[in-house]
Structure 1
């Protein structure tokens, strides 16, 4: 059996990327690692978070011996991707705001990037805007609550429409007869409730999910597997715990919870 592909996120958002990876690479095995003990990453000081993620990978890489790792998290990718590439001798595929394709598709020239505060304040994000969207008006919307609301909603908790609508409201801009026509989903949690975004939006927009582009890039770096995988892929949570609702969710994504890295 070929070495697995490791998919890493702060929580369940990376499941949206895992789903697309499986579509493009059905013959690969995957290990999904959720740093739920550190969730949400938006609450962390940058240097401490960088140290935490690199430290986690010092354990994960030798244990799972992955052929490559997908960092299915915008906050982690914009912060620590280069550190990981320097520290480990495997390919890393990151998740960064899909600003370039948004700039290529927009008709109105008004784009919003819906992200976490960490992704919004990164120079990396602003560099992408400068390189690829100089002809557009790009609004950066950093939500400190939306990732939490997403996990709460997906795991069966009550989340009001008003709470979600308040978090996405700033994405919608009207200016000189033009309206925002693309919202970049710059947190992998957000596609999990994109249908609610569509229902609550004041007008239709293209909600741009980067998962397909991530999957294509990962496939280009992954050698073909020798045979088709059997059974469930493995999910590891850094807390070592998972609620019944969480276990049901990850089972639906073809994952089997492991409290031990065995």
Structure 2
């Protein structure tokens, strides 16, 4: 446990997917102040080579932690945490990091058919971290890894008012549905925080009912456990929840979305 400090809870994502975690965290911790960081300058992370992305994240957090001095950090991004979580904790050991990893363990515990799918970005699918989770918790299951190159961007477009067709979404999620020896996939792990924004669309497109496992509540619960009885950063009219983008090139519809979540949009960090 890092040294207790006052300060906001920092929620970090490559884009707007972490808003699903922010929503749950506010419900569980209404007395806390939040700063939401969207690394839109680097979005999408799946296009980055691993070594370059790791170096980028370490350099970015060097600045963010110095500027914001948060009570704890929630990495609301599977791709970022599975790649950089251990390095961030080692480099910034005075800070508590709450990570986001594919919810493979609870899926393996809940499945009745033994067929689960993990819907993720290609980067999360290929990560050794993800395969280790399967080897540790889901050896009794058939776990299908489905890497979608486009769903995170589609979710951003959809939640900010853009049109996303059923055909395009179905092409991305169809591999999740497996029939084998009279059994069917019964759980799909949403292993990217962007994907819950599309969950209702997924339910309508699914060829049979499945449990779409959203990790946002579990992440928020872990943040609350980490914070424990630490004093909250006082909230006032001039000290409200912020959204900070790493690039000032923010589309108006994204800025409006942030405001709809009750966030004051600040200038781009480092811009």
- Matched position secondary structure for 1:207: strand
Q: Which of 146, 149, 157 is the matching residue for 1:152? A: 157
List aligned pairs for 1:204-223, cutoff 5 A. 204-222=209-227, 223=229
**Is 1:70 aligned to 2:74, yes or no?**
yes
Gaps of 5+ in 1: none
Paired position in structure 1 for 2:53: 49
Deviations along 1:16-47, whole A, 9 cap, x unmatched? 01111111111111110000010000111000
* Matches of 2:233 and 2:167, distance apart in 1: 48
- Matched position secondary structure for 2:7: coil
* Matches of 2:246 and 2:147, distance apart in 1: 26
User: Superposition RMSD on alpha carbons, in Å?
Assistant: 1.5
Q: Which of 11, 20, 30 is the matching residue for 2:15? A: 11
* Matches of 1:94 and 1:260, distance apart in 2: 24
Deviations along 1:206-256, whole A, 9 cap, x unmatched? 000111111111111113435762343001000123222111101111111
Paired position in structure 1 for 2:33: 29
* Matches of 1:208 and 1:260, distance apart in 2: 33
* Matches of 1:8 and 1:154, distance apart in 2: 18
Q: Which of 121, 130, 139 is the matching residue for 1:125? A: 130
* Matches of 1:143 and 1:261, distance apart in 2: 29
The normalised TM-score by structure 2 is: 0.94
Contact 2:196–2:214 (CA under 8 A) maintained in structure 1: yes
* Matches of 1:241 and 1:148, distance apart in 2: 16
Larger mean Cα displacement after TM superposition, 127-136 or 252-261: 252-261
Contact 1:31–1:236 (CA under 8 A) maintained in structure 2: yes
Larger mean Cα displacement after TM superposition, 243-252 or 113-122: 243-252
Larger mean Cα displacement after TM superposition, 31-40 or 152-161: 152-161
- Matched position secondary structure for 2:146: strand
Q: How many pairs are equivalent?
A: 262
Gaps of 5+ in 2: none
**Is 1:109 aligned to 2:117, yes or no?**
no
- Matched position secondary structure for 1:134: coil
Deviation at 1:156, TM superposition (A): 1.4
- Matched position secondary structure for 1:113: strand
Q: Which of 216, 223, 231 is the matching residue for 1:225? A: 231
Q: Which of 238, 241, 245 is the matching residue for 2:249? A: 241
